[in-house]
Amino acid sequence: MNIESSTFSLLPILMLIIYGLFILLGLYSLYLFIKLATRGITALDIYIDEKKNKRL
C-alpha cells in the first residue's frame, strides 16, 4: 500500500466532516437568529404599547 493512496483516500472523509461542521454551524446560527428576532419582536411590541398608551 502506498502512502499517496492512503492520503487521497482519507481526503474525502475529512471533507465530509468539514462539510458536516459547516452545516451544524449554519443551523446553530439560524437558531440564534430566530431567537434574536423573537426578542426583537417582543421589544417592538412593548415599545408600541408604551407609545399608544402614552407611558414614558
pLDDT, residue 9, reads: 79
Q: How far apart are CA 43 and CA 37, in angstroms?
A: 10
Higher-confidence residue: 56 or 20?
Answer: 20
Residue extents of the structural domains in the chain: 19-56
Phi, psi of 48 (to 5 degrees): -65, -40
Q: How far apart are CA 56 and CA 13, in angstroms?
A: 59
Tens digit of each residue's pLDDT (9 = 90 or more) over 3-23: 566 666 788 889 999 999 999
User: Residue 28's pLDDT band (boundaries 50, 70, 90)?
Assistant: very high
**Contact (CB, 8 A) for 22 and 15:** no
What's this model's pTM, rounded to 2 decimal places?
0.69
